[in-house]
Amino acid sequence: MTTCFAWGIGVANYSRSGTMLDVFFPKPLLRPASTLTNTLRAKVGSGVHDVDAKTVAGLLPNLPQELATALTPLTEARGKLVSVLLDEDRAIAHTAEAYLKLHLLSHRLVEPNQQDLGGIFAHLPTVAWTNQGPILAEELTAKILESRLRGEHLEVQSVDKFPRMVNYTIPAGVRIADASRVRLGAYLGDGTTVMHEGQVNFNSGTRGPNMVEGRISQGVIMDSGTDLGGGASTMGTLSGGGTIRVSLGKNCLVGANAGTGIPLGDRCTIEAGLYITASTPVTVIDEHGEIIKRVKARELAGGSDMLFVRNGMNGQVQCRTNQKAIALNEALHANN
């Protein structure tokens, strides 16, 4: 092998019992050049390895200038450093590998569904994320007591396998109203706005610009110009979506409290309050209002220029040609 899939050196946190809790990678690298890959294999080795500040200093002359600058502060690190060199994209076998792959997503180096995330849940411990850093869940009570005895307040922000993305990286050109609702491993394209009730899971996201006022589930990607309305949701493969991988094309609108369990092409609209699942009976209507056919929604998966509405007289879910594409308000997406 002459190249590798990814590499990063980061700062690791450990529990009292020695469990790795998280790793912060200042600047992960995707598919480094073969010459750099060979140097990394020789100096830090393939796989996961503990390294020290001296090792990092020895690497800097071999790194591209931008990367060397980003890693220079690690040469004075007092904490524990770890190197992760993945020769190939394979199922996750270590906590540090999981964090590197989550960083690749949130640094926009890979899009959702473009890398193997198999094994990620098995190798991410359940952690109490606090204002004093990550704490293993079963060690939390003792840590709270210690803090109170020192007259300090320990605030637990969440107990989860995934931390907030913004504690590791903030992609350029995005706005996030409530940081707790965007997990590390979310992919947010330039121009994306995530409102207070918006939620973006790991291995999901937007290509930007996008307005997110609802939930983007694991595995779902929204293309540019698409708006996910307040209370709306997308069905992911972890939440009952089966093997259908949901995606939304360009300039779509999923109305408030609506949702989809099928992929949509470009310029599609789902009216407010209407949830389309793969098995939803849909009556397809032509531009003259004539019935063309009746199908399950899965047969329309991936189509463009579709308008899904519910007939107010008989309750039928209808699909019509979308005569008016949705255009996002450009002022709302001026995040620079």
Instruction: Identify the CATH number of the domain in which residue 68 sits.
Output: 3.30.70.2010
Handedness of CA 260, 304, 182, 335 (dihedral sign): negative
Specify whether 311 is located in the same domain as 284: yes
Residues 261, 284 contacting (CB under 8 angstroms): no
Active site residue 213: yes
Give the pLDDT confidence score for residue 332 in this predicted structure: 42
Specify whether 231 is located in the same domain as 318: yes
Q: How far is residue 102's CA from residue 81's CA, in Å, rounded to a whole number?
A: 18
| Domain region containing 145 | 127-160
Q: Give the confidence band of 242 by pLDDT, cuts at 50, 70, 90.
A: low
277: three-class secondary structure by DSSP: coil
Q: Give the confidence band of 289 by pLDDT, cuts at 50, 70, 90.
A: confident
Q: Classify residue 42: in a domain, yes or no.
A: yes
Specify whether 177 is located in the same domain as 298: yes
Q: What is the largest CA-CA distance in the chain?
A: 75
Handedness of CA 13, 73, 57, 41 (dihedral sign): positive
Q: Classify residue 121: in a domain, yes or no.
A: no
Which of 175-179, 180-184, 236-240, 249-253 shows the lowest per-residue confidence on average (mean pLDDT)? Answer: 236-240
Give the pLDDT confidence score for residue 312 in this predicted structure: 86
Share of the chain above pLDDT 70, in %: 93
CA 9 from chain centre, in angstroms, equals: 21
Q: Give the confidence band of 1 by pLDDT, cuts at 50, 70, 90.
A: low
Where is pLDDT greater, at 323 or 98? 98
Specify whether 144 is located in the same domain as 174: no
Q: Classify residue 117: in a domain, yes or no.
A: no
Give the pLDDT confidence score for residue 78 in this predicted structure: 83
Instruction: Using CA atoms of 210, 215, 219, 223 in order, give the dihedral in degrees to the nearest 10.
Output: -20
- Determine which one of 213, 271, 290, 330 is catalytic: 213
Specify whether 191 is located in the same domain as 317: yes
Specify whether 193 is located in the same domain as 290: yes
Residues in the chain: 336
Where is pLDDT greater, at 334 or 159? 159
Q: Give the confidence band of 331 by pLDDT, cuts at 50, 70, 90.
A: very low
Q: Give the confidence band of 333 by pLDDT, cuts at 50, 70, 90.
A: very low
For the domain that residue 320 is a member of, what is the CATH number?
A: 2.160.10.10
Specify whether 138 is located in the same domain as 87: no
Q: Give the confidence band of 230 by pLDDT, cuts at 50, 70, 90.
A: very high
Q: How far is residue 31's CA from residue 144's CA, in Å, rounded to a whole number?
A: 42
Give the pLDDT confidence score for residue 329 in this predicted structure: 46
> 110-137 pLDDT, tens per residue?
999 999 999 999 999 999 999 999 999 9
Considering its fold, how many domains does the chain have in total? 3
Specify whether 152 is located in the same domain as 183: no
